[in-house]
């Protein structure tokens, strides 16, 4: 039934298929993604709820809330990093198609999930389960991100000329190293929970500080 | 009283009516709608709350939360689909008027309501009531969407030339099929709740994967 | 102390004052306001929480939640209306200054408050208190909106040429009628709560449907 | 290991480093920041929750919620002020680099944290702890803001010509005075909690009303 409809559409050329396909410009995809990133990063604060206690227990309760504050800081920076990477990745894109669009929605689905494991590690900071779920969520984000790179590799007409053959090849080891580190963090969560956190933070710090800075004074010019 | 005011306005031509009418450009309507979509899709995560339990019950509680996670995934993708369809639909619009504007607000009202039935199916996953409310919400979204198409059909000056006479005629069966499927899911919710979920998911998968892809390399060009 | 700093600034001409003053373009003010409107309107759904009950009480609980759903619909449409009015009002603005900027923030403060009385009327639908607070909030929104019109009247260089002398004069009765109606709703809240709701809804319907539509095919043109 | 990768990147010149570095334009940084500001300012309302009480206790409960409403108003205006200052500060920027980008994310992290101390002062309005945490959060925001000014001072190529040598020098006393005032508020929180609030509000009022207004009719022109 749908097949015949489809045929009809292919002939008529002016409707639902067009509705689904024709006009998701790159800029709107970016704007929507930016919106989701901004909201996810800001919703994190909602998990830091102070229990309804008498003020005499204020200091003790604040101490018990401290892990949630630290989890807030960690996830804020990690989501901020995903935003930066997402944004810069979009720069090599020339066009977008339906497949890429849905991979992007899947990526946002994973990133939007981060507040949940953040809430868990904030509540049970030294238990293995939450740390493992946190790591698994990050691996899922990275995996979808990697599939997006692979997708563009095989749909080269979507990308700018800069996106050469080496792009995928040079990115693959980075994804393997990062996800390998996260996998290690998951495996170490039970015996050494603190080591897992150090790994999560170290990966972020590494990416922010140690990946080379090739600013050449051109790329960052303001577009007012 | 209002009538005389109205008359006065019609004569003076420079005020409240203008305030209400003159300047809702299509681009701002899109930007506002994008914002609402991005927020609704991200708010879904807030419903996945982990109850305050001792860690010894972590695994059991996580299992009990699993339906909410699945409901999150389902609604995320459905709202993502509405966003894609809404966006592409706007592409055939040239202008917008007050009627269309308010139909759009009504459409956003329905989409913004989705987190509520999502919360219900996440909590009572195999009960008929939540599944029926979920389906009814989707039918409401589609119905308002269809009214928007009809509205444009009868206010052709709002649309681009592509929006020909066939547009409404060819869309009608698609809306009937989809809403018919949802209605079936509602009716089957009591005897076969699982079938209802399969229908909800099948419709989405069908739209995403099986409606023909007429990308021609022109429509998706980046507008940087 | 501040005074001397101020003097220093006035002389040096290149700093904090500039930071505060120079570059709030109208477009950014609109974008920020749009964001706040989109968020407030979407947050409304968060108040419709289904209590944690056994499914056997589903129907009864759903009935008890119904007033919150109706309050959601009412506030969604009212905030949507404020968004439309705000947007169109900005159309007569040419520039913006610090005073207008802060009046706008005050206006957003009032609109952002609407979820609170919405929550109250949803919970105690036929009690006078919540209905009165709801009306008072709307009056506050309108009052700030009216002050903005007065401000522009006395700072005519901020406005387009369309904003003539008659603008304020012709708006004043509209504001008086609407706020008078709301005041009536507040006074009637105790004896006739239902009448108060009818007034709230009637005002919205009146503005949406009965204020004249002066679309002339020019103003709504798309700006792609 | 990362070092060798880095070398490889430096040679190949077409990948991950580019992804991290090349294209965060000033405009996107502003849009993302605007989004975060709009969301934080609107989320404040979520803290004003009316406890589930019988209506007979409505007035008493409303009184107990009043401090939260006042805290909402105070934080709304303070975040609004940060938004205005952030926005105007961006006006002297020409480009942005990775360091500035991450300082900005750190700044947003601090601002996004404000709902938490707001919730505390709303709940324990006359206790020292919440007032001190509130002040410390504002000092953290200002400190990061000041570091951003210092950063631009030492990376002058990022700034417009207006950002002369005097910029940092003239801003420093303002930051010292404001943070000194906040520090005073923290120290006075235990003996005189009311004085602390007066200081918080006085600083905001001072900045809004008493810093000189150098509008010259050019800077605020609309860019439609």
Query: Mind telling me how many Å the CA of B103 is from chain A's nearest CA?
Result: 18
The rounded distance, in Å, linking the Cα atoms of A210 and D4 is 11
DSSP-based three-state secondary structure for D216:
coil
- What pLDDT score does B187 carry? 95
Neighbours of A49 (CB within 10 A): 13
Q: What φ, ψ does residue C173 adopt, rounded to 5°?
A: -60, -35
Interchain CB distance below 8 Å, A116 and B50: yes
Q: Measuring CA to CA, which residue among B75, B157, B153 is closest to residue B113?
A: B75
Distance from CA of B48 to the nearest CA of C (A): 13
- In this predicted structure, the answer to whether residue B173 has a pLDDT above a threshold of 80 is yes
What Cα–Cα distance (Å) separates residue D195 from each residue in B167, C26, C65? 67, 37, 43
| Chain A residue at shortest CA distance from B221 | A95
Which residues of chain D, if any, have pLDDT below 70?
1-25, 211-224
Q: Give the HSE-up count for residue C148: Cα atoms under 13 Å, Cβ half-sphere.
A: 26
Q: Are C136 and C65 a contacting pair, CB within 8 Å? A: no
Residue range C142-186, pLDDT digits in tens: 999 999 989 999 988 888 877 777 778 888 888 899 999 999 999
**Chain D positions in Cβ-Cβ contact with residue C20 (cut-off 8 Å):** 84-85, 88, 207, 211, 213
CB-CB under 8 Å, B127 with C55: yes
Of the ranges A108-122, A161-175, B151-165, C210-224, which is most confident?
A108-122
**Beta carbons of C22 and D59 less than 8 Å apart:** no
Q: What is the mean pLDDT of chain C?
A: 82
3 state SS for B157-186: HHECCCCCHHHHHHHHHHHHHHHHHHHHHH
Q: Give DSSP secondary structure letters for C34-87.
A: HHHHHHHHHHGGGG-PPP---GGGHHHHHHHHHHHHHHHHHHHHHHHHHHHHHH
- For chain D, give the mean pLDDT: 82
For the four alpha carbons of B56, B57, B60 and B65, in that order, the dihedral sign comes to negative
Cβ of C8 within 8 Å of Cβ of D55? The answer is: no
Residues in chain C closer than 8 A to B125 (CB atoms): none
- Burial degree of A1 (CB within 10 A; 0-12, 13-18, 19+): exposed
> What SS3 class is residue C180?
helix
Cα dihedral sign for B156, B160, B165, B167?
A: negative
**Phi (first) and psi of residue D221, to 5 degrees:** -60, 140
Q: Chain C partners of D45 at a C-beta cutoff of 8 Å?
A: 40, 43, 112-113, 115-116
Residues of A in contact with B33 (CB under 8 A): none
Probe site for chain B from C42, C171, C177 (most B CB atoms < 10 A):
C42
Q: What's the rounded Cα separation, in Å, for the pair C157 and B213?
A: 52
Rounded to two decimals, the pTM is 0.85
Give me the mean pLDDT over the B38-62 stretch: 91
Token pair 């009504």 is found at B106
What's the rounded Cα separation, in Å, for the pair A134 and A129?
9
Residue in B36, B95, B108 nearest the CB of C222: B95
Helix D128-154 and helix A58-90: axis angle, to 10°? 30
Is residue C206's pLDDT more than 60?
A: yes
d(CA A49, CA A56): 18
Distance CA B83, CA B79 (A): 6
Q: Other C-beta atoms within 10 Å of B67: how many? A: 15
Distance from CA of A124 to the nearest CA of B (A): 7
Could you tell me how many residues make up chain B? 224
Cite the beta strand spans of chain A per DSSP E: none
Which chain D residue has the Cα nearest residue A27? D28
A58 to chain D: closest CA residue: D129
Query: How far apart (Å, rounded) are the C-alpha atoms in residues D102 and C47?
Result: 35
Q: Residue A161: closest CA among chain D residues belongs to which residue? A: D14
Q: List phi, psi (to 5°) of B164.
A: -85, -170
- The whole-angstrom distance between C25's CA and the closest CA on chain D is 6
Residue C159 bridge partners (DSSP): C93
Q: What is the pLDDT of residues A116-172, one digit of tens each?
A: 999 999 999 999 999 999 999 999 999 999 999 899 999 888 888 777 777 788 888
Q: Determine whether the interchain pair B77/A19 forms a contact, defined as Cβ–Cβ distance below 8 Å.
A: no
CA quadruple C39, C40, C45, C48: dihedral positive or negative?
Answer: positive
* B48:A94 CB<8 A: no
Residue of B nearest to A127 (CA): B55
| Contact residues for A129 (Cβ-Cβ < 8 A; gap 6+) | A120, A189, B55, B58, B59, B62
If you measure CA to CA, which chain B residue comes closest to A123?
Answer: B52
Distance from CA of A32 to the nearest CA of B (A): 6
Q: Give the DSSP H or E segment for B66.
A: helix B58-90
pLDDT (tens digit per residue) in B149-158: 899 999 988 8
Measured CA angle at B153 (ends B149, B157), to 5 deg: 115
Higher pLDDT, C4 or B90: B90
The residue with greater pLDDT, D16 or A35, is: A35
Tokens matching residue C101: 């900027």
- For residue C109, which residues of chain D lie inside 8 Å, CB to CB? 73, 76-77, 80
Say how far apart CA B220 and CA C12 lie, in whole Å.
50
Tell me the CA distances in angstroms from B124 to B118, B128, B136, C53, one per residue in order.
10, 9, 16, 10
- Count helices and strands in chain A by DSSP H and E runs: 9, 0
* Chain A neighbours, 3+ Cβ pairs < 8 A: B, D
> In this complex, do C18 and D164 lie within 8 Å of one another by their Cβ atoms?
no
Nearest-CA residue of chain B relative to A94?
A: B222
Burial of C143 (0-12, 13-18, 19+ CB in 10 A): middle
Which of C21, C39, C108 has the CB atom closest to D213's CB atom?
Answer: C21
For B102-122, write each residue's pLDDT tens digit.
Answer: 999 999 999 999 999 999 999
Pick the residue from chain C with its C-alpha nearest to B106: C77
CB B32 within 8 A of CB C83: yes
Which residues in chain C are contacts of D44 at CB distance < 8 A?
112
Least confident window among A192-196, B176-180, C141-145, D19-23: D19-23
Q: What pLDDT sits at residue B58?
A: 92
Bridge partners, C221 (sequence order): B95
Tell me how close the Cα of D182 comes to any Cα of chain C, in angstroms: 16
Q: CB of B109 within 8 A of CB of C73?
A: yes
Q: Residue B93 pairs with which residues in a beta bridge?
A: B159
List the single residue in D2, D43, D123 with the smallest CB-CB distance to A50: D123
The answer to whether the CB of A23 falls within 8 A of the CB of B87 is yes
Q: CA angle, A107 as apex, A106 and A112 as ends, to 5°?
A: 95
Q: Name which of A105, A140, A160 to mutate to probe chain B: the one with the most chain B Cβ atoms within 10 A of its Cβ.
A: A105
Q: Please tell me which residue of chain B has the smallest CA distance to C205.
A: B102
Residue A153: partners with Cβ closer than 8 Å, 6 or more residues away: A163, A167, A168
| pLDDT at residue A24, rounded to an integer | 57
- Over residues C21-32, the mean pLDDT reads 69
Residues 6+ apart with CB under 8 A from C12: D166, D170
Residue owning tokens 């939260």: D68
Residue ranges of the alpha helices (H) in chain C? 2-12, 16-21, 26-43, 58-90, 98-113, 115-123, 128-154, 166-187, 193-205
As a whole number of angstroms, the distance between CA C148 and CA C175 comes to 12
Cα of C4 to nearest chain D Cα, Å: 11
Q: How far is B93 from chain A (nearest CA, A)?
A: 12
Task: Identify all chain C residues contacting D69, using CB atoms and an 8 Å cutoff.
Answer: 116
CA distance A97 to chain B (A): 7
C157 with D85: Cβ contact below 8 A: no
Write the residue in C20, C23, C112 that is nearest to D211 by C-beta: C20
Mean pLDDT over each residue of chain A, to the nearest integer: 82
**Are the C-beta atoms of residues D108 and D145 closer than 8 Å to each other?**
no
ipTM of the complex: 0.82
Contact C147, C175 (CB under 8 A): no
Interface B-C, measured as beta-carbon pairs within 8 A, has a size of 167
Q: What is the pLDDT of residues C63-122, one digit of tens each?
A: 999 999 999 999 999 999 999 888 888 878 888 888 898 999 999 999 999 999 999 999
In whole angstroms, give the CA distance from residue B79 to residue C218: 33
CB-nearest partner of D38 from C36, C97, C101? C36
**Percent of the residues in chain A that have a pLDDT greater than 70, as a whole number:** 83
CB–CB of A50/D119 below 8 Å? yes
Q: How far apart are CA A184 and CA A200, in angstroms?
A: 10
Is the pLDDT score of C11 beyond 50?
no
CA distances from B48 to A68, A123, B77, B84, C118 (A): 17, 14, 16, 25, 24
Q: What is the mean pLDDT of residues B28-47?
A: 90
What pLDDT is recorded for position C95? 82
Q: What is the pLDDT of residue C106?
A: 95
In this prediction, residues A70-88 reach a mean pLDDT of 92
Confidence at A214, pLDDT banded by 50, 70, 90: very low
Residues facing residue A221 across a β-bridge: D95
Separation of alpha carbons D110 and A80, rounded Å: 13
Nearest CA-CA distance, residue B131 and chain A, Å? 22
């Amino acid at each position: 039934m749908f097949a015949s409809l489809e045929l009809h559409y292919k002939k008529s050329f002016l409707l639902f298929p067009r509705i689904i396909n024709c006009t998701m410009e790159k800029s709107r995809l970016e704007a929507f993604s930016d919106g989701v990133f901004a909201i996810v990063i800001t919703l994190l604060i909602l998990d830091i709820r102070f229990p309804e206690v008498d003020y005499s227990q204020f200091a003790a309760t604040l101490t018990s809330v401290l892990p949630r504050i630290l989890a807030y800081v960690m996830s804020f920076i990690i989501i901020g990093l995903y935003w930066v990477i997402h944004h810069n990745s979009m720069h090599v894109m020339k066009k977008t198609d339906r497949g890429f669009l849905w991979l992007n929605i899947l990526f946002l689905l994973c990133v939007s999930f981060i507040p949940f494991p953040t809430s868990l590690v904030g509540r049970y900071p030294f238990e293995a389960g939450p740390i493992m779920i946190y790591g698994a969520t990050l691996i899922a984000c990275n995996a979808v991100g990697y599939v997006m790179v692979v997708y563009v590799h095989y749909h080269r007409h979507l990308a700018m000329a800069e996106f050469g053959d080496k792009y995928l090849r040079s990115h693959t080891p980075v994804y393997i190293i990062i996800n390998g580190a996260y996998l290690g963090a998951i495996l170490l969560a039970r015996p050494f929970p603190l080591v897992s956190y150090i790994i999560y933070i170290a990966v972020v710090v590494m990416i922010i500080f140690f990946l080379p800075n090739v600013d050449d004074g051109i790329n960052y010019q303001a577009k007012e």
